[in-house]
Amino acid sequence: RQSLTAWLAKGGQSVEVVYLTGTLPAGAPEFLSYHLGTPVEVLPGLSLDNATPEQLAALPRFARAVGIALGLRGKARDLNLRQGGLGFESGFTFLKEKAPTLSGLFATIFVFFVFSTWAEMRALDQENAALGSALGELSMKVLGEETSDPDRVNELLDKGPGKQDNDPMPHFDAFDVIVEISRAVPHTVTHDIQEFDMQRGKVKMNAIVGSTDEAQNISSKLKEHACFHDVKVSKITQVVNSDRQKYVLEFDVACPEDGGAKKPSKKEEGGEK
């Protein structure tokens, strides 16, 4: 009774008849039919070939085993009790029924995917062509050679003018100038520097020597250096209360390594004279 009630509660169809099998006591079908309210009958005997009467009489005892054996037959078509609320648990039956629809859906998605990929690739090709043309025009204007190859453009940029910036550190700084001045002063001369200034390659020095000739000799010695240009003694005065001479020396510093003009040789100077 509980099994039938549960079956009906799950949405199953009403049971029309119940079959009994096995060894049954007398009056069992009538008793169960009265309490269940459903017709109850004895399962009809099976028709078996080459079976003796004794075997047919004992067959109801093995009804469950026979039922299991029949249920395990290949390609058996058993009753599908998964109906109503349990219909979604019917295995792959739902998928088999919807296979054509699902196949069409997947085919449509695949076609749209292929079309979208093709459209995107075509757009990228057009954009690449436009960028290549713009790169060629720009390279022609800037580098003097028309090319749409990025590697070639980088190569031209590496070889182009202005790629290698000049070293901001000058070849000769103020300390180097002081050293060269000390070398130009003879050991027998007393040379006192009162003021030394160097800005943007221009040097101005105030110093005191023993005589005017000593100042001119120092100036001539500095003219021989390749980095010193326009060396001249701009002013000479006598020190107050002394026989020593105070002079002002000015010159420009620009070495050939820094892009300065080369110092003319003595022969060239002689020829110009």
Domain boundary pick from 141, 165, 189: 165
Rounded mean pLDDT, 237-264? 80
CB neighbours of residue 83 within 10 Å: 12
Task: Tell me the percentage of the chain whose pLDDT exceeds 70.
Answer: 80
Rounded mean pLDDT, 156-185? 75
238/224 Cα distance (integer angstroms): 27
233 and 188 in a common domain = yes
Averaged pLDDT score across all residues of the chain? 80
The percent of the chain in helix, strand and coil, each rounded to the nearest 5, is 50, 15, 35
Give pLDDT, residue 58: 75
CATH number at residue 193: 3.30.1360.100
Domain boundary pick from 87, 105, 129: 87
Give me the half-sphere count of Cα atoms (radius 13 Å) on the Cβ side of residue 115: 6
Nearest to 252 by CA among 272, 271, 225, 273: 225
179 and 155 in a common domain = no
Q: How confident is the model at residue 81 (pLDDT cuts 50, 70, 90)?
A: low
Domain boundary pick from 130, 165, 200: 165
Q: Does 197 score more than 80 pLDDT? A: yes
Q: How confident is the model at residue 267 (pLDDT cuts 50, 70, 90)?
A: very low
State the residue range of the domain holding 118: 91-165
Most confident of 30-34, 68-72, 122-126, 254-258: 122-126
CA 125 from chain center: how many Å?
A: 22
Higher pLDDT, 162 or 185: 185
47 and 132 in a common domain = no
Domains in the chain, number: 3
Q: Does 206 score more than 90 pLDDT? A: yes
247/190 Cα distance (integer angstroms): 13
158 and 180 in a common domain = no
116/124 Cα distance (integer angstroms): 12
**86-100, 136-150, 213-227 — which is least confidently predicted?**
86-100
230/27 Cα distance (integer angstroms): 144
137 and 78 in a common domain = no
Q: How confident is the model at residue 273 (pLDDT cuts 50, 70, 90)?
A: very low
Give pLDDT, residue 8: 80
Long-range CB contact pairs, 263-270, < 8 A, 24+: 263/224, 263/225, 263/226, 263/227, 263/228, 263/229
Most confident of 74-78, 105-109, 226-230: 105-109
185 and 266 in a common domain = yes
Q: How confident is the model at residue 113 (pLDDT cuts 50, 70, 90)?
A: very high
| Digit-coded pLDDT (tens) for 92-108 | 666 777 788 889 999 99
Give pLDDT, residue 268: 44
Give pLDDT, residue 207: 92
Higher pLDDT, 257 or 107: 107
208 and 156 in a common domain = no
Question: Token pair of 56, please?
Answer: 């047919």
107 and 82 in a common domain = no
129 and 183 in a common domain = no
**89-98, 111-120, 148-157 — which is least confidently predicted?**
89-98
What is the pTM assigned to this prediction? 0.37
267 and 184 in a common domain = yes
62 and 12 in a common domain = yes
Task: Tell me the percentage of the chain whose pLDDT exceeds 90.
Answer: 22
Higher pLDDT, 233 or 153: 233
